[in-house]
Structure 1
């Protein structure tokens, strides 16, 4: 019952932030959102989840303090300084590089369902605020390149599935930020497609209780599960003709049309590194023989999960 209440206030805080017409209202909405998700993160008799909750709270509270200080002193600051501070706060709350150091560590100690909220819903309010805020183009370009470069380099040797998806999320933040530069609403299409793809992946991870690559490989003993994972990971990587390629294609097209061809080229090249995680997880599970886990695998034939899987690979039909 209390979780449903906190989930409701979590949604309320986000809606309050994105619909407010004052900076103080935005700050209040973000604080309500933060205070609502902490109880959802906490797990009884779990020091790891408690540690992750504390790390998340400290990071978000620090960012909120900087935002409040910026709001109070906004009239005495020049526009560039206040814009950079507000943008940095929102990037910290999302986990974009180089403000990302808390993100993989927090995800490592949380349950898959809470990680799904952190990777999707918790990015909504900061992205909307960035959409309506005056951005410093050079600073934003640095963040985009840093997010894509760092996520690729730091994720390439990871064996933890949670950290792999965390660095994948940072990479997708770079793509979403690039769309804000030329079309304010395109990021929402990207965000929606990303959510549709990542939901079935996280649901399968949660149902099979997977944490590391070895467990992932061993769990791939059913051909149907194998195919679902492979198609979703390839779609997450943006490989054509899967659904995940569609928003990236729109982003590249928009960047080129707006004279940001060099940025589009950098982004395409830097995306090749994260593709390694996806191919390592997906293709190796297809071609390598793995022994079955001794324990009985839980039933993963959920109608909602299969519906989301169907949506995530709909690009094959177009």
Structure 2
């Protein structure tokens, strides 16, 4: 892609998200979400591959549907209450429509069906943008309207997302689909605690962005998109295989890695709020996710690829990719647990 066009598209992505962050009016927030969608569409279709075109079409249709629902809900709320402000979402029909539309935007279950299919059709860097940056604007709106939403809806969405995100990734062989189900499960953790402690949602979001960035950048460095391709990773780059395996375990929430911190604090807060049963179900659902991360780690570190591999594996090729971002995100995704008290002090 032409670098000037790329700069314009990435700038538009930043503009759309910033516009949604800064807006207090539903129309302005909707415009920010639309700019976001239109900016990432050319990035998704740039490969000119049938899978990429199909993924782009699916993404555009789902995002357009969600944006139309948001605009309709905001108009309904303004018609009934006379207010366009995001914080004044007082009508139950409008608030239910908004939470449904935003759940569709970020891929919460049961509106998650588009996410694995779309992510599977993209290259790893565009998939990284879709999994991290594109979640920020809808989550900012969710945080603002959370107090107007029925708590039972948020709890149901959170539980369903963690369970489906865990079950869905069990039988996958494509790493991008596994990361898509991982995204669904992590969004469930963020949504379920949103009504009780929004700062914990932001903390979980920050940890998720760091860990997912590490996973995608590592896979990009290794040119791996399938589990059977991961089996050659230890032979080629043992250090990269080790850090990638640790990043996957961090995504699963194993101590003493960074991913344990948000899960631990969320379970602690839910227990304080008198929801021990919900916290138990969430903890058990996390074990489902941990299983498919362990599958990836097993393939990378404890198996050796057969000599008759179907993939054309580059053998100890010197990469020309920049490793600065990967080194930074890997360090943060693996080593932030000891400073949990300091992070809690900053967020409280």
TM-score range normalised by the length of the shorter chain:
over 0.9
Aligned to 1:311: 332
Aligned to 1:147: 161
> What is the TM-score with the length of structure 2 in the denominator?
0.87
Q: Label 1:48 to 1:268 Cα distance change in 2 as closer, same or farther (>3 A).
A: same
Aligned to 1:67: 70
1:76 to 70, 80, 98: 80
SS in 2 for 1:157: coil
How many residue pairs get aligned? The number is 318
Runs of 4+ in 1 over 6 A off after TM superposition: none
Q: Label 1:259 to 1:34 Cα distance change in 2 as closer, same or farther (>3 A).
A: same
Is the CA contact 2:18–2:32 (under 8 Å) kept in the aligned structure 1? Answer: yes
Aligned to 1:219: 233
1:24 to 19, 22, 27: 27
Cα distance in 2 for partners of 1:48, 1:248 equals 35
Q: CA deviation at 1:202?
A: 0.5
**Matches of residues 269-280 of structure 1 in structure 2 within 5 Å?**
269-280=284-295
Q: CA deviation at 1:315?
A: 4.4
Cα distance in 2 for partners of 1:97, 1:294 equals 36
Aligned to 2:42: 39
**Matches of residues 1-318 of structure 1 in structure 2 within 5 Å?**
1-74=4-77, 75-76=79-80, 79-133=91-145, 134-221=148-235, 222-291=237-306, 294-296=313-315, 297-299=317-319, 302-315=323-336
Q: CA deviation at 1:45?
A: 3.0
Q: CA deviation at 1:268?
A: 0.2
Gaps spanning 5+ residues in structure 2: where?
82-89, 340-348
Gaps spanning 5+ residues in structure 1: where?
none
> What is the TM-score with the length of structure 1 in the denominator?
0.95
Is the CA contact 1:207–1:298 (under 8 Å) kept in the aligned structure 2? Answer: no
Cα distance in 2 for partners of 1:104, 1:142 equals 21
SS in 1 for 2:232: helix
Q: Label 1:11 to 1:193 Cα distance change in 2 as closer, same or farther (>3 A).
A: same
Alpha-carbon RMSD across the aligned residues, in angstroms, is 1.8
